[in-house]
Amino acid sequence: MIPGMNESLLGYIKRRSDAEGFPEARGFLTTLGQTYGRATVEEPERLALELDLDLATIEQILPGKQPSDAALDWSFHRMHRDPVCPACIAARQPRRKEWRHALVTACAEHECQLIDQCPGCGDDLTLLGDGYAGCLCGSSYVDANAVPASVFEAEFAKLIAGHSAHMGGIDLGSEEGLQTARTVWFLCANMVRARTGKEGKATYPKTVEEARARLARIEPLLLDWPTAFDNHVVQRWYAPDAEGLTAASRLGVWYRGLLSQKGALAEALLSRCLTVAGTVCGDAYKTRRRQDGAEWVSAAHAGEILGIRSERIVEAVRTGAMMGSQGRSGTGHLHTIVRTQDVEAVRKLRARSATKQKVRDTLGVSKKQFELMEEARFFGAECRVSSHPCVDGNFDLKNICTAVDGIRQVARVKSAEADGMLAFRKINLRRTTDRTAILKMYRLIADKKLRAVKFAEGDSLGDVLFDAAEIDRLLQDHGGARSWTAGDVAEFSGWKPECVTGWCEQGLLQATKGKRGSFHVWQITEEALSRFRREFHVVSDLAKEGKTTSRKLLTSLADRGISSVGSQRAGTSSRGHLIRTRDIARMIAFHPS
């Protein structure tokens, strides 16, 4: 036995319980060593194993914290009653998943009210205290009268069941169920006051009757549209405790809560609320509106649209960067309003603008390399956006990506060995100490005069491969000679890094002091290294070639009057001995044997 397409988890458990001869679901779950509640939801693997079902099958009907199905929203899951539709039971249909939603009071298919009390004994239909189609007293739920539900109850049930519905003056698609349920609960919760006198603190209804009473309070607001909703906003506007001039101040927590709601219904309610505030109530949106036919919104609402703090919009209006109007209420609060068309323009600007960090991450280059690219004007003026207080960064990411695509389009496909290619991120001051040559390379690449040999779709600019030999030739042509650090030289020569550093410090190996990142290093050019190898021979290399030791070789040379240079102390011994080439030549000339 497997669950039906729209069956609830609890309904399946009861149907399975009946099939296996248990009078109530509690006994069946006890036999399985299970309970119904949070543990059931958080340990679906165990439940699937006990029910002999695939985990994927269980997960389709399992309530969750952030589900895509509105009927499976755990935050609205009923934990006190398990209501049913008499018409569905009579038709031998499964118990539907949307009946488990705390605000659903009607059957989406038959549009009749759900019942959560036995038609025979009157006992409550608890989670586990009855069978699939009848009570323990012997009464069948088919015997209950199928009372027609109100229009709003039926529309709401359809939406939670995954169908379209009409409320708030708009048609809502099936995908709007999750957000609409939260907006409906927001309206319900704010129609009653808690014992502390605060609105919005109501608890979820435990029974169908309580849920029906909650929905009845807001039904006119969403069906008698927009008259009832307009009257509700006006009533709140002129409430005895309402103060200030704007919607944010006079409508208070209710308005801020409406701003936080998501979905098509919430947008319709907010739009209508602002219309009422501007045309009926005469707030700052109306009294300070310019005679240009534009619509105006508060800085707080604009901040919600842009996803930034409202203080940034207030500052933009104050400095003249954004058109708006500012004024103070009787309490001294500064009210700022801006045109919706300007807010939309800033939203589009923010969508394409980026900070340096975001551009670097997109290009896949380091901070230092990006600074060099800026110095070389790698990207033109079209890749910049105007500075604006409400925009983060002044780079046009869209145009930057377009420029990079241009480099990709002119790339030439060339087969080469991996060590014969050089990534763009490696064309930096580690390749040469000549800053001018690096800047020239960047200009050649930006102007598409130096083309990549490999630039695959999806690769960032830092991953683009160029011909290493071509890069070195161009660096040489533009005054750049290849250079290495003492560590680089030690790595490819086999010499010890401290020996190379010592030769640089003694002036035997010509080098200049420089910085690589935050480190001070010796930088050695090709020419300097070549001169060093002509003028000196490393004793350890000579000993290795002669199959002897450095100590014996130094003793033999000393007997012939030749002393080493460049050595450094290392504990009780020394290393890094060099012999001048001219001394070796003189020795060969005078001691040919």
Assess whether 429 and 516 both reside in one domain. no
Distance CA 314, CA 325 (A): 9
Assess whether 420 and 517 both reside in one domain. no
DSSP annotation of 115 reads B
What's the start-to-end Cα distance of the chain, in Å?
101
Answer whether 404's CB lies under 8 Å from 363's CB. Answer: yes
Q: What is the pLDDT of residues 535-566, one digit of tens each?
A: 999 999 999 988 999 999 889 888 888 899 99
- Total domains in the chain come to 3
**What is the average pLDDT across 227-235?**
91
Is there a domain that residue 266 lies in?
yes
**What is the average pLDDT across 95-105?**
96
Q: What is the pLDDT of residues 451-488, one digit of tens each?
A: 888 888 889 999 999 988 888 888 777 655 567 888 88
Is there a domain that residue 393 lies in?
yes
Q: What is the pLDDT of residues 370-381, one digit of tens each?
A: 999 998 889 888
Question: Does residue 520 register a pLDDT over 50?
Answer: yes
Assess whether 471 and 487 both reside in one domain. no
Assess whether 359 and 472 both reside in one domain. yes
Is there a domain that residue 384 lies in?
yes
Range of the domain at 282: 255-347
Is there a domain that residue 516 lies in?
yes
Q: Quick one: pLDDT at residue 393?
A: 87
Assess whether 423 and 486 both reside in one domain. no
**What is the average pLDDT across 82-95?**
94
Q: Grade residue 116 by pLDDT with cuts at 50, 70 and 90.
A: very high
Assess whether 365 and 449 both reside in one domain. yes
Question: Does residue 193 register a pLDDT over 80?
Answer: no
What is the percentage of the chain residues whose pLDDT exceeds 70? 91
Listing DSSP states for 12-51 in one string gives: HHHHHHHHTT-SSHHHHHHHHT--SSHHHHH-HHHHHHHH
Q: Tell me, what amino acid is at 547?
A: K
Assess whether 267 and 326 both reside in one domain. yes
Q: Quick one: pLDDT at residue 229?
A: 94
Closest to 500 in 3D by CA, of 459, 533, 534: 533
- Tokens for 227? 């008259």
Assess whether 492 and 420 both reside in one domain. no
Q: Grade residue 512 by pLDDT with cuts at 50, 70 and 90.
A: confident
Listing DSSP states for 185-211 in one string gives: HHHHHTTSB-TTS-BS-PPPPSSHHHH
Q: Quick one: pLDDT at residue 287?
A: 44
Is there a domain that residue 527 lies in?
yes
Q: Quick one: pLDDT at residue 419?
A: 66
β-pairing, 536-538 with 519-525? unpaired
Least confident of 59-73, 214-228, 286-300, 349-363: 286-300
With the C-alpha atoms ordered 461, 465, 470, 476, is the resulting torsion angle positive or negative? positive
Is there a domain that residue 163 lies in?
no
CATH number (domain holding residue 317):
1.10.1660
Q: Quick one: pLDDT at residue 290?
A: 45
Answer whether 83's CB lies under 8 Å from 77's CB. Answer: no
Q: Which residue has the higher pLDDT, 121 or 513?
A: 121
Number of H helices, E strands in the chain: 28, 16
Assess whether 576 and 487 both reside in one domain. yes
Q: Quick one: pLDDT at residue 200?
A: 63
Answer whether 91's CB lies under 8 Å from 99's CB. Answer: no
Answer whether 24's CB lies under 8 Å from 136's CB. Answer: yes
Q: Grade residue 330 by pLDDT with cuts at 50, 70 and 90.
A: very low
Assess whether 261 and 338 both reside in one domain. yes
Q: Give the end of a domain, one of 477, 508, 525.
A: 477
Is there a domain that residue 500 lies in?
yes
Highest mean pLDDT among 186-195, 202-211, 478-487: 202-211
**Alpha helix (H) ranges present in 339-434?**
340-352, 356-363, 367-375, 397-409
Least confident of 88-102, 116-130, 133-147, 503-517: 503-517
**What is the average pLDDT across 55-59?**
89
**The pTM is what?**
0.52
Q: Which residue has the higher pLDDT, 526 or 262?
A: 262
Q: Give the end of a domain, one of 347, 370, 388.
A: 347
| pLDDT averaged over every residue in the chain | 86
Assess whether 283 and 311 both reside in one domain. yes
**What is the average pLDDT across 256-270?**
93
Assess whether 362 and 472 both reside in one domain. yes
Closest to 50 in 3D by CA, of 72, 28, 65: 28
Q: Grade residue 328 by pLDDT with cuts at 50, 70 and 90.
A: low
Q: Give the end of a domain, one of 423, 455, 477.
A: 477
Is there a domain that residue 426 lies in?
yes
Q: Which residue has the higher pLDDT, 35 or 290?
A: 35
Q: Quick one: pLDDT at residue 41?
A: 80
